[in-house]
Amino acid sequence: MTATTAPARTRNDALRPLSKVSIIGYGAGDAANNLAFTTANMFLLLYYTDVAGISAAAAGTLLLVVRVFDAFSDVFAGRLVDRAYSKRFGKFRPFIMFGSMPLLLLSVASFSIPQLGQTGMLIWAYASYTLLGLAYSLVNIPYGSLAGAMTQVSSEGAKLAGARTIGAVAVGSFLGIFIAPLMVHGANLQPLFTMLTVAFAVVGAGLYLFTVLTARERVQRDVPKVTLKQSLDTLKGNKPLLLLCVSSFLFLTGMLAVSTVQIYYFRDVLHALPLYAALSVVNLVLTFGMGFVLPRLVRSIGKKNTYLVASAVVVLGGLIVFLTPASLVPLAFAGAAITQFGILTVNMLVWALEADTVEYGEWKTQVRTEGITYALFSFTRKTGQAVGGALAAYALAWGGYAAGAGGQSEQAVWGIRAGAGLLPVVFTGLAMLVMIAYPLTDARHRTIVDEIAARRTGQPGA
């Protein structure tokens, strides 16, 4: 009697609606993550080129090498998570509790490169950013895996995905509205970056604590500590996960190209840097709006179809950005806004899609492995980020971008245009082609969840 009622109660908990506090608490965790992550994505290349004085080509190689290392760090973190288990705090929250402060302090170090000569600065940049990536993996992999342990209901998972996106975009919008307009040529930016990252360390610590206290695991697991063989078995034959990973790699390549050079696009192509802040406001409004609309959209047409439509929107926006003359600033801004809307929608969806593949893996193998599943997904996203960020930097180098110059050559302008418009068009289009073959529909996912539940209770049809 005791052996069956406790699991049943745990299973029922996983099928109940999430509380608003737990949803907000989960979203706070990604806000904290992005105090380091989005700051690096938006400003680290500019910091390297315009503050530290590192060449665009050297900075591009640095971003490529370190982000590929980050991807392998995700796999290491995933295995660590699957092997860990605390009876009091579960599998995931201890990593967030103890890894958050090293992560935030390493963000400070990455934006505090001392003047040690070109070689010394490069060594500092490589070391600080590499350690930042490792610390981020040890926090973000368990954080991302936590969503799959909080609920087994697709619509509730979509709420968590929306909450984390709202948290991330809130940080990005703050940076775009208040910090990006300060990135003018000739300004002394080092004190700004130092104060910003130190303040983020304090705020981030509070946000992480809120997540730990409110976002709790509710999904029953039959195997608390997972062996390497069990981890690999859940990945083999998980076609939805593999296709999602490939599509995400391609999509993230295009997305990181946009986020890396967008500030250059507004400043050096359109000569309208204040519009970068305006785009951040638009992005914030769209995020809160989609936070309410997305669960309804998912119920109406499904996650896969929403992903494909949103990707098509990114392609449209990218074409407008790439082809619009600099004199037509309103049209160029509209193209950037359309691109951001598509990116935002896909980024909300992918976390719910990834959680669905966890259920698929458990259905196939009877072992639940959120850690390694999320790690593989994050690995491909990190490699996409590495390639996208590097391609954007190489586009600047190809164009002959002159750091600190008030005006850029025509070739430099086209290099920036390629990063902000052409790269997302190409790679998002490829991501759509892969996603067309994605087989795990929402109806199939509901059937899988029911079969897992029946298997646990020993009912017919398990």
User: 429 CB contacts (<8 Å, ≥6 apart)?
Assistant: 311, 315
If one counts the domains in the chain, the total is 1
> Which pLDDT score, from 0 to 100, does residue 28 have?
95
Give me the helices (H) in 302-422, please: 303-323, 329-365, 370-399, 410-417
> Which pLDDT score, from 0 to 100, does residue 426 have?
95
Measured distance CA(357)–CA(378) in Å, rounded: 13
Question: Is 447 inside a domain boundary?
Answer: no
DSSP 69-125: HHHHHHHHHHHHHHH--BTTTBTTHHHHHHHHHHHHHHHHHHT-----HHHHHHHHH
Question: Is 448 inside a domain boundary?
Answer: no
> Which pLDDT score, from 0 to 100, does residue 408 have?
75
Question: 349-387: string of b/e by CB count within 10 Å (b at 16+)?
Answer: bbbbbbbbbbbbbbbbbbbbbbbbbbbbbbbbbbbbbbb
10 Å Cβ neighbour count for 181? 18
How many residues are there in the chain? 462
Question: Is 74 inside a domain boundary?
Answer: yes
Helices (H) and strands (E) in the chain, counts: 16, 0
> Which pLDDT score, from 0 to 100, does residue 231 have?
63
Question: Is 221 inside a domain boundary?
Answer: no
Question: Is 371 inside a domain boundary?
Answer: yes
Question: Is 5 inside a domain boundary?
Answer: no
Mean per-residue pLDDT pooled into runs of 10, the chain (462 residues) = 39 72 94 92 88 88 87 84 75 90 96 88 94 93 85 77 84 88 83 95 96 83 60 75 92 89 88 88 84 81 92 96 93 94 89 83 76 78 84 84 72 88 94 93 84 71 43
Question: Is 149 inside a domain boundary?
Answer: yes
CATH of the domain at 284: 1.20.1250.20
Domain of 110?
20-215+228-438
> Which pLDDT score, from 0 to 100, does residue 322 have?
94
Question: Is 291 inside a domain boundary?
Answer: yes
Positive or negative, the CA dihedral 228, 230, 231, 237 is positive
Residue 266 DSSP label = I
At 135, list the tokens. Answer: 């610390």
Tell me the CA distances in angstroms from 190 to 10, 43, 177, 193, one per residue in order: 51, 12, 19, 5
